[in-house]
Chain A
Amino acid sequence: MANDVFVLGGHQTDFARNWNKEGKHFLAMMRESVLGALELTDVPPADIEVAHVGNFAAELYCKQGHLGAFFVEIDPAFSGLPTSRHEAACASGSIALLAASAEIEAGRYGLACVVGVEQMKTVGSKVGGDFLGTAAWYELEAEGIDFPFPKLFGKLGDEYDKRYGLKAEHLDAISVINYANAKLNPNAQTRNWYMSADHAACKGDDNPAVGGRIHLTDCSQVTDGAATLLLASRDYAADYARRRGIDLDAIPRLAGWGHHTAPLRFADKVKESKGHKYVLPHVRATVTDAMGRAGIASVDSIDGIETHDCFTTSEYMAIDHFGLTAPGESWKAIEEGRIALTGDTPINPSGGLIGAGHPVGATGVRQCLDAYKQVTGTAGDYQVEGARTFATLNIGGSGTTSVSFILSR
């Protein structure tokens, strides 16, 4: 039987910051986040035994590879540490977490540090949109296309519309909820931005279409940011709990995980799922695997979800894929207020990728950090009352690589 993986906590940078304007290298971002995590968890740097870095495209945005090695630059105590960098487009952060947790499960190390990082504001939106196109099959789906990803996720909406019907008002509502939650999150990129139901509903110059049915308010943000999480073995966690005078039970565990990869091209995904109840069956399998491994029978036992709302359509998809509603009926959960912060299964209390921001390689780590905050009651103004079990869903590409975690206490 695999060893338990405990989550000691972590840190995220303020996602509203523009590190390029500050003249900063992404190393500054990693340093602030990793040292911040050590400070908040009260873990000495010398205790870290292995480090994993999640990052999508520093080669493109910053002309720099070999990100694992940059971890060693953070503190003299890290010299000699085993490190590696993981890439799976927008799911890079979760893949780094999976690698670290597998090592803890296998008993190789007692304490792992996982940092997800992305610096994206080094280039303009058009060039950045082209870089993001490499998360799809670039030659076939992105080359020469302005903003390929909104178009791909617009097609996800089209597929829902074709199979079950889809109304713009429900996508608007997803956007409005994420922005409203972000106002409660002191690290959210859009916390001071204007948003209202009227603004999301207006589809004119202030809110232009960027890809089919996807308008600006349906999109996640271009974000600079890093997030760090410390994962520990039972032995380290027990010792840590003793040192801090707390119960081991007070420390959350990574109770379950799911991980699948679908065909890269969106058209192939749709072809494969023909006749299937779920539009993205591999995403559904990721979620049910995570719940199964955590011993959870249904979404009813989950107190809240941090999901991958790179666009409103991807959150719309997550609602039925998590099983909040029957397939194709996500709109019901929206109308009934179930996904709002006060609902029975709040989705993205942090504001998600739309409200909190989406530094690509950091997002999976940030989601698990927010899940950690929720189950430890430390999420501040966006706390889901009494949360003990939280799920994440992190997606790379157009629903290609998907990873889900369940954190519980």
Chain B
Amino acid sequence: MSDKRNPADRIRRVVVLGANGTMGYQSGALFAAADVDVVYLARTKEKAEKGREGAANAVRSAAIKSRISCGGYDDLGKHVPDADLIFEAVAEDLDIKRALYEKVDAARRDDSIVATVSSGLSIDELVDGRSDSFARNFCGLHFFNPPQVMVGTELIGGKATDPQVLDFVESYSEKVLGRVMVRTANTAGFAGNRVGFKVLNEAAQLAMTHGPLLVDRLLGPYTGRAMPPLRTIDLVGWDVHRAIVDNVCAKVEDEAIATYRMPERMRALLEQGTLGDKGGYGFFKSDGKGKPKLVLDPTSGEYRPESHQNVPELPFVDEIVFLHRIGEYGRAMQRFAEADGELAEMSRRVIGGYISYSFHRVGEVTESIAGIDRIMAAGFNWAPPSALVDTIGKDRTVKMIEQAGLPVPKQLTDAIARAGDGPLFDEPRLSLGRYFVAAA
């Protein structure tokens, strides 16, 4: 496996399984854009061809299609033996994936790599029953949606994965595909979703009593994210949200798991068909013309115009937004840490919780906080936890977490002690200011 060649030379042909799905064709386009020959496979050749059209749309060029050929799963035996990398992006279902892997195992070359884009299934369970060679060369390569925009990527090895395979996939993804890579443990939700959906679900819990509009304002872009949390859940889809939080709740017991339980009322609404944007309505609903926005009343399940909502004035939010607007991020977040009132406290509990939860995960899902920082920035478009600590101020952050009644992780106090006068966040490839968005 040790290979001194340019990583680009080792991957000349990629087979994408599930190329009709959004993640399939978009991820496949990353390889095709890097001048790799890519074969799109789906249940039928026609579906794969639709995926190829999707790839052209994703990169806004029909020229990419010359790099992509198409086929159905019947052609798998023909294409897989030629592939240097087999990239699987079929439905997030253990049995479906396993059945396909059996066919891949029979057809692949011993030196080919197999990667799954799965966002949460266990790498070890996925290779159960496969050949040693398959398991050695198998890893999770979790791109975030849409991969053309979100460069953060998680790399997950299983118990049997050859460390040199992981080294190679990491360097290939960085150098050839331009990804920002994070290695994570094979734990539920890996790093990004584990931390991200904790915050999203806590916002959903608060929305059940305080209403979606107030919660999205309190935890909005000014707290260090491109999109407010409930808008994010609507975009992701309520069904996907449920699958992710239920998976974590089933497999994990941690200090903040209570914030990870999906509100029963939300579960009921989902069962009645509330799916988020893909079904037309979630926490918010468009009137068909884009605006005005209609807002869910979680109690009645009805939607009311935004203008009819009783949302209190939030002067501290306005002040922070202005400070972000002129680039005074430090002063802005210090104002956040010191703002008076229950609503400011509520917001600080969630943001403090994000920082506390992230540092608690160090050693469990990533080796250091840098991995969580990278994936929250480049996978979620959120201010990374370390950067929040630096911007709010180290001592002020600890105090903020304590006052919110949350545990201050040893990983955080250790990191603060190690950093001395310097910053916790050390990632020259990510420019911090972009995560402090000047919008309420």
The chain A residues found within 8 Å of chain B, CB to CB, are 13-14, 17, 21-25, 27-32, 73, 183, 186, 191-194, 196, 198-199, 201-202, 204, 206-207
A-B contact count (CB 8 A): 80
A403 to B56, CA, bound (A): 40
- Interface set, chain B 316-371, CB cutoff 8 A to A: 321, 324-328
What is the size, in residues, of chain B's interface with A at 8 Å between Cβ atoms? 30
B326 contacts A27, CB within 8 Å? yes
A201 to B63, CA, bound (A): 9
Q: Which residues of B contact A31 (CB under 8 A)?
A: 326-328
- Interface set, chain B 127-186, CB cutoff 8 A to A: 148-149, 151, 178
16 chain-A/chain-B pairs, Cβ below 8 angstroms? A14-B431, A17-B434, A22-B437, A23-B439, A24-B324, A24-B325, A24-B438, A25-B326, A25-B327, A27-B326, A28-B327, A32-B431, A32-B433, A193-B59, A196-B61, A196-B64
CB-nearest residue of chain A relative to B149? A192
A206 contacts B61, CB within 8 Å? yes
B61 contacts A199, CB within 8 Å? yes
- Interface set, chain B 220-246, CB cutoff 8 A to A: 221
Give per-residue flags for B46-84: 1 if the beta carbon is below 8 A from chain A beta carbons, else 0: 000000000000011111101000000000000000000
Minimum CB–CB distance for B393 against chain A, Å = 17
B324 contacts A196, CB within 8 Å? no
A14 contacts B326, CB within 8 Å? no
| Cross-chain contact of A194 among B60, B149, B434 (Cβ < 8 A) | B60
Given A14-B434, A21-B437, A23-B321, 13 more contacts at CB 8 Å? Answer: A14-B431, A23-B324, A23-B325, A24-B324, A24-B325, A24-B327, A27-B327, A28-B325, A194-B148, A196-B33, A196-B35, A206-B60, A206-B61
A32 contacts B327, CB within 8 Å? yes
A367 to B33, CA, bound (A): 28
Q: Which residues of A contact B436 (CB under 8 A)?
A: 22
A207 to B59, CA, bound (A): 12
Minimum CB–CB distance for A78 against chain B, Å = 14
From known contacts A23-B439, A32-B431, A186-B429, infer whether A192 and B151 are also in contact, taking CB-CB under 8 Å: yes
- Interface set, chain B 405-432, CB cutoff 8 A to A: 428-429, 431
A192 contacts B178, CB within 8 Å? yes
B interface, over-half SS: loop
Q: Which residues of A contact B328 (CB under 8 A)?
A: 31
Q: Which residues of B contact A22 (CB under 8 A)?
A: 433-434, 436-438
CB-nearest residue of chain B relative to A204? B62
CB-nearest residue of chain B relative to A27? B326
A202 to B321, CA, bound (A): 44
A183 contacts B178, CB within 8 Å? yes
Minimum CB–CB distance for A402 against chain B, Å = 31
| Cross-chain contact of A199 among B63, B428, B437, B438 (Cβ < 8 A) | B63
Give per-residue flags for B176-212: 1 if the beta carbon is below 8 A from chain A beta carbons, else 0: 0010000000000000000000000000000000000
CB-nearest residue of chain A relative to B326? A27
Pick from B59, B66, B326 the residue with the most CB of A within 10 Å: B326
From known contacts A14-B434, A17-B434, infer whether A196 and B151 are also in contact, taking CB-CB under 8 Å: no
Minimum CB–CB distance for A263 against chain B, Å = 38
From known contacts A73-B326, A183-B178, A206-B60, infer whether A23 and B438 are also in contact, taking CB-CB under 8 Å: yes
Q: Which residues of B contact A25 (CB under 8 A)?
A: 325-327
CB-nearest residue of chain A relative to B62? A206
List the 7 closest A-B pairs by CB distance, nearest first. A28-B327, A23-B438, A194-B59, A31-B327, A198-B63, A199-B63, A14-B431
B62 contacts A29, CB within 8 Å? no
A29 contacts B178, CB within 8 Å? no
Q: Which residues of A contact B149 (CB under 8 A)?
A: 192
Minimum CB–CB distance for A49 against chain B, Å = 23
Minimum CB–CB distance for A308 against chain B, Å = 25
A13 to B33, CA, bound (A): 26
A196 contacts B148, CB within 8 Å? no
